[in-house]
Chains A and B, each alone.
Chain A
């Protein structure tokens, strides 16, 4: 099944204005009707919690209401519809879209992908011992450097039965296990992408069911640090980061949000193919990150010379 990854996340919220401001400040482009887009058109959609267009909620607002997966071809839509119809209600919508609940009760839909081609620059590195990527007189940074979320990377769900939830995505939708935190949750990759994961599941008590976080890919670790610094300067609250994850190698910086979950800046994730063998590690601080920092206000080593006349 050629499932590429999440194309859209739909939230029902109690403060539409706060969420709209938040997603705009995060860097997504308002595209009208509650839609906030990355460069490739993948998006977050914000609606009032009582909007009749939304599927039923699985918790108090704000909360996730629908996860829209983009697929690469119409045959995949038919295959998904045939597979899921075996044991659950499947509704077909516009353009052949397929709508059904996963085994944890999250509302999913599948549609031909909305991802549009785009190009964006790479963060070129000059590493001694390797041919330079940035030649003479090309500058690495600029005061005006613009950071834009490029594509919706992944969503993380709290689920009451992680093994059952994993089995649904692996056995029914063709996702592959890339890595796993033993007893906590699997990192899953659908067949239509090489990204380390587009879905991570975390075992929790049933009343916590919902989204833990989602993130869009930025262009580099530098972009994560720059975007997070600017976001913090606007008054937003860091939850975790900045740092670099072990599984997936991606840079991270998580923030609280009015959407009822964390929102992350992420970049530079590993790619995998079907020859990869999943690593199983116990969860914990050591296995979840290579390093972790706390941001601080910009500072400059000026002022009176230190006592004793050093310098």
Chain B
């Protein structure tokens, strides 16, 4: 019973990883979901499924460091195939986070390492990491 030091969803001090959600709570390919794992009052990371796996990025545009979405969970283009920053219209590849058009062209969203275990999606990042604020 040593596999998990805590119940998913209830991070404890000293944790080196941060639970996001049960895998089946992640929307299908073409949609994204925002999370506020540090309880900062807004979604600071977002996750999306791709054909070859899951990606989690910081919700922090490399252009001005602002949130990308225009509304809760709306991070993607109309066809669900690209990430858009709805602040100044930067386009990002969904698979890599690379900005292909817009003010931060050539820069990338910060991709966060993740772990999948027992049907849960975790970030391999401590809950108190500045990456989650």
Contacts and interface: CB of A to CB of B under 8 A. Distances in A.
Interface of A: 13-15, 18, 22, 59-60, 62-63, 204-205, 207-208, 210, 212, 234-237, 239, 255-258, 260-262
Contact of A257 (B72, B78, B86, B102): B86
B105 A258 contact: no
Contacts of B9: none
A84 to B, nearest CB: 28
B69 A256 contact: yes
A13 B71 contact: no
Given A255-B70, A258-B74, A59 B101 contact: yes
A256 B89 CA distance: 10
A237 B84 CA distance: 14
Given A15-B78, A204-B103, A237-B67, A210 B89 contact: yes
B70 A236 contact: yes
Contact of B74 (A18, A255, A260): A18
Contacts of B79: 14
Nearest to B86: A256
A59 B70 contact: no
B53 to A, nearest CB: 25
Nearest to A15: B78
B71 A237 contact: yes
A18 B80 CA distance: 13
Interface in B71-112: 71-72, 74, 77-79, 84, 86-89, 91, 101-103, 105
A262 B102 contact: no
A72 to B, nearest CB: 33
A60 B71 contact: no
A236 B43 CA distance: 12
Nearest to B85: A256
B66 interface: yes
A262 B66 CA distance: 13
Given A204-B103, A207-B105, A208-B103, A237 B70 contact: yes
Given A235-B72, A258-B78, A260-B89, 13 more contacts: A15-B78, A60-B89, A207-B101, A207-B102, A208-B102, A234-B71, A237-B69, A237-B70, A239-B87, A256-B67, A257-B86, A258-B86, A261-B89
